[in-house]
Structure 1
């Protein structure tokens, strides 16, 4: 039974070559592909920035997933490094939280970090909605005062 040769290697083995040399060529080919994939994944992980479009849990899970893919390619990032990459990638409004984490003696696991960030994100959203509510209430009071003054002066 004759085996078919993958398209990328078609014609790459001659009658004089042995199977060992052919296998070495295949290994080199796939090693190049793995290096390129590793570089792409690492570049993506390092350049990620949280923009608030998805929730923070999904964002951290995406970063963790990229780290897992790198681990499968035999480039393992420690959890500490991954946590610092997460911290670095977050926007300025998480600054107070970053300082709080960095001043603690305890180290958190990635799951703990995610849990704390979810709580922080919810707190920030509550603060924003309260701020918007106070702002709109304040503007309504100003409009009523201005309207009352204008009506009283006519």
Structure 2
């Protein structure tokens, strides 16, 4: 098993993408049968002289899962966030702390800034149908709204119009010459 190769198949955690990162980490660990440490509520009891072979096996499997889970999670972090990551040796705690970190006020402000930048600078590049481009911009506006930053529908329509390339020039001229303002549904 090559953890470095596996970490390349997982989206890098950048502080803002916990949901995607977590889903991919859990999938990779599950496929490999290494998700025991993040699935169990608590780690197994330490091995003693009276431990049964089943208890010893469980303890060893959990420790292997925990060690490799932590390694994979740490290897799939962007370099700029690694210094601020929690210092724990428990994979389940690590995952929980990462989630809390990604939901902090600082992260929310950063996400809002990133989404606003994406919304205002996004350009249609023909790599997808126009409908998907428009819907994608509306989804960004919806995410902003869910974070307390509402984008007025007229602004959204204008951002969409501004994102269109010169080939849509006649469409833009027609839009600008009519009196009525379009809503998002009409532009789709």
Q: Greater Rg, structure 1 or structure 2?
A: 1
1:33 aligned residue (66, 83, 107)? 107
The counterpart of 2:118, out of the listed 44, 47, 53, is: 44
Query: What is the match of residue 89 of structure 1?
Result: 163
Shift of 1:9: 10
Give the root-mean-square deviation of aligned CA atoms.
2.4
Question: Shift of residue 33 of structure 1?
Answer: 1.0
What TM-score do you get using the length of structure 2 for normalisation? 0.45
- 2:187 aligns to what? 113
Q: Select the structure that is richer in helix.
A: 1
Name the CA distance, whole Å, in 1 between partners of 2:154 and 2:124. 19
Following TM superposition, by how much is the alpha carbon of 1:93 offset from its aligned partner in structure 2, in angstroms? 0.9
The CA distance in 1 between the partners of 2:170 and 2:111, in whole Å, is 36
TM-superposed CA distance for 1:52, in Å, is 1.1
Residue segments in structure 1 that go unaligned for 5+ positions in a row: 1-6, 11-25, 115-154
Task: Summarize deviations over 1:13-45 as a string: whole Å, max 9, x none.
Answer: xxxxxxxxxxxxx8xx82111000101111111
| Residue in 1 that maps onto 2:70 | none
Runs of 4+ in 1 over 2 A off after TM superposition: 7-10
